[in-house]
Amino acid sequence: MSLDNVRLSVPARDRLVRLKRTTGIAQWNVLCRWSLALSLKDPSTPLVKDIVTDSNVEMTWKTFAGQYGDVYLALLKQRCVADGVEPSDENVAHALTVHLHRGIGYLGGQKDLTTIEGLVGSVATV
Protein backbone atom coordinates (compact mmCIF):
# COMPACT_ATOMS: atom_id res chain seq x y z
CA MET A 1 0.00 0.00 0.00
CA SER A 2 1.38 3.41 -0.88
CA LEU A 3 0.31 6.99 -1.35
CA ASP A 4 1.24 6.95 -5.02
CA ASN A 5 -2.26 5.89 -6.06
CA VAL A 6 -5.56 6.31 -4.25
CA ARG A 7 -8.08 3.55 -4.97
CA LEU A 8 -11.65 3.09 -3.84
CA SER A 9 -13.84 0.12 -3.07
CA VAL A 10 -16.88 -0.66 -5.21
CA PRO A 11 -19.35 0.46 -2.50
CA ALA A 12 -17.43 3.75 -2.08
CA ARG A 13 -17.47 4.30 -5.84
CA ASP A 14 -21.22 3.66 -5.96
CA ARG A 15 -21.83 6.13 -3.14
CA LEU A 16 -19.67 8.75 -4.88
CA VAL A 17 -21.64 8.27 -8.12
CA ARG A 18 -24.82 9.17 -6.22
CA LEU A 19 -23.07 12.09 -4.50
CA LYS A 20 -21.87 13.44 -7.84
CA ARG A 21 -25.50 13.58 -8.98
CA THR A 22 -26.90 15.13 -5.81
CA THR A 23 -24.15 17.68 -5.13
CA GLY A 24 -23.32 18.60 -8.70
CA ILE A 25 -19.62 18.12 -7.91
CA ALA A 26 -18.29 16.26 -10.93
CA GLN A 27 -14.75 15.38 -9.86
CA TRP A 28 -13.97 12.30 -7.76
CA ASN A 29 -10.99 13.99 -6.13
CA VAL A 30 -13.01 16.92 -4.81
CA LEU A 31 -15.57 14.64 -3.17
CA CYS A 32 -12.75 12.49 -1.79
CA ARG A 33 -11.05 15.52 -0.25
CA TRP A 34 -14.28 16.46 1.52
CA SER A 35 -14.66 12.86 2.66
CA LEU A 36 -11.17 12.78 4.13
CA ALA A 37 -11.72 16.08 5.94
CA LEU A 38 -14.99 14.82 7.44
CA SER A 39 -13.43 11.64 8.72
CA LEU A 40 -10.32 13.34 10.12
CA LYS A 41 -12.57 15.76 11.99
CA ASP A 42 -14.12 12.83 13.88
CA PRO A 43 -11.79 12.00 16.81
CA SER A 44 -12.86 8.35 16.96
CA THR A 45 -10.87 5.63 15.25
CA PRO A 46 -12.53 4.20 12.12
CA LEU A 47 -14.02 0.79 12.89
CA VAL A 48 -13.22 -0.74 9.52
CA LYS A 49 -9.61 -1.84 9.30
CA ASP A 50 -9.39 -3.74 6.00
CA ILE A 51 -10.94 -2.33 2.85
CA VAL A 52 -10.83 -4.03 -0.51
CA THR A 53 -10.02 -1.33 -3.05
CA ASP A 54 -11.42 -3.18 -6.03
CA SER A 55 -13.23 -0.52 -8.03
CA ASN A 56 -12.15 1.10 -11.27
CA VAL A 57 -11.79 4.48 -9.50
CA GLU A 58 -8.11 5.24 -9.08
CA MET A 59 -6.24 8.53 -8.99
CA THR A 60 -2.71 9.57 -8.30
CA TRP A 61 -1.86 11.23 -5.00
CA LYS A 62 -1.19 14.45 -6.93
CA THR A 63 -4.68 14.35 -8.45
CA PHE A 64 -6.27 13.49 -5.11
CA ALA A 65 -4.45 16.10 -3.03
CA GLY A 66 -3.74 18.79 -5.60
CA GLN A 67 -1.67 21.74 -4.51
CA TYR A 68 -2.35 20.93 -0.86
CA GLY A 69 -0.67 17.53 -0.88
CA ASP A 70 1.74 18.51 1.88
CA VAL A 71 -1.16 19.63 4.07
CA TYR A 72 -3.11 16.40 3.57
CA LEU A 73 0.02 14.37 4.21
CA ALA A 74 0.73 16.29 7.42
CA LEU A 75 -2.87 15.81 8.57
CA LEU A 76 -2.66 12.06 7.96
CA LYS A 77 0.67 11.79 9.78
CA GLN A 78 -0.68 13.80 12.69
CA ARG A 79 -3.72 11.53 12.84
CA CYS A 80 -1.48 8.46 12.95
CA VAL A 81 0.41 9.95 15.89
CA ALA A 82 -2.85 10.89 17.64
CA ASP A 83 -4.09 7.31 17.17
CA GLY A 84 -0.84 5.93 18.62
CA VAL A 85 0.47 4.58 15.32
CA GLU A 86 3.90 5.28 13.88
CA PRO A 87 3.50 7.61 10.86
CA SER A 88 5.34 5.28 8.47
CA ASP A 89 4.49 5.36 4.77
CA GLU A 90 2.44 2.18 5.08
CA ASN A 91 0.51 3.41 8.12
CA VAL A 92 -0.18 6.77 6.51
CA ALA A 93 -1.46 5.06 3.36
CA HIS A 94 -3.67 2.81 5.48
CA ALA A 95 -4.99 5.82 7.41
CA LEU A 96 -5.84 7.50 4.11
CA THR A 97 -7.78 4.46 2.94
CA VAL A 98 -9.83 3.96 6.10
CA HIS A 99 -10.51 7.65 6.66
CA LEU A 100 -11.39 8.23 3.03
CA HIS A 101 -13.90 5.37 3.06
CA ARG A 102 -15.39 6.40 6.40
CA GLY A 103 -15.75 9.95 5.13
CA ILE A 104 -17.47 8.76 1.96
CA GLY A 105 -19.90 6.92 4.22
CA TYR A 106 -20.50 10.13 6.16
CA LEU A 107 -21.09 12.10 2.98
CA GLY A 108 -23.57 9.59 1.64
CA GLY A 109 -25.40 9.15 4.91
CA GLN A 110 -26.35 12.74 5.71
CA LYS A 111 -28.92 14.65 3.69
CA ASP A 112 -27.52 18.06 4.68
CA LEU A 113 -24.24 17.15 2.97
CA THR A 114 -25.77 17.14 -0.50
CA THR A 115 -25.21 20.88 -0.97
CA ILE A 116 -22.04 22.96 -1.03
CA GLU A 117 -23.29 24.86 2.04
CA GLY A 118 -23.82 21.62 3.91
CA LEU A 119 -20.35 20.36 3.00
CA VAL A 120 -18.66 23.55 4.15
CA GLY A 121 -20.67 23.62 7.36
CA SER A 122 -19.77 20.02 8.12
CA VAL A 123 -16.01 20.56 8.22
CA ALA A 124 -15.68 24.24 9.11
CA THR A 125 -16.00 25.27 12.71
CA VAL A 126 -16.82 28.81 13.59
Looking up residue 103, the CATH number of its domain turns out to be 1.10.1220
The secondary structure of 91-122 as a DSSP string is HHHHHHHHHHHHHHHHHHH-GGGGSHHHHHHH
pLDDT tens for 64-73 read 999 999 999 9
126 within a domain of the structure (yes/no): no
- Residue-level pLDDT at 23: 81
Q: The pTM is what?
A: 0.85
48 within a domain of the structure (yes/no): yes
Kindly report the number of other CB atoms within 10 A of residue 30's CB atom. 15
37 within a domain of the structure (yes/no): yes
115 within a domain of the structure (yes/no): yes
2 within a domain of the structure (yes/no): no
The domain in which residue 73 lies consists of 7-121
pLDDT tens for 18-47 read 888 888 888 989 999 999 999 999 999 988
What's the N-to-C CA distance of the chain in angstroms? 36
Contact between 90 and 48 (Cβ < 8 Å): no
Contact between 120 and 38 (Cβ < 8 Å): no
35 within a domain of the structure (yes/no): yes
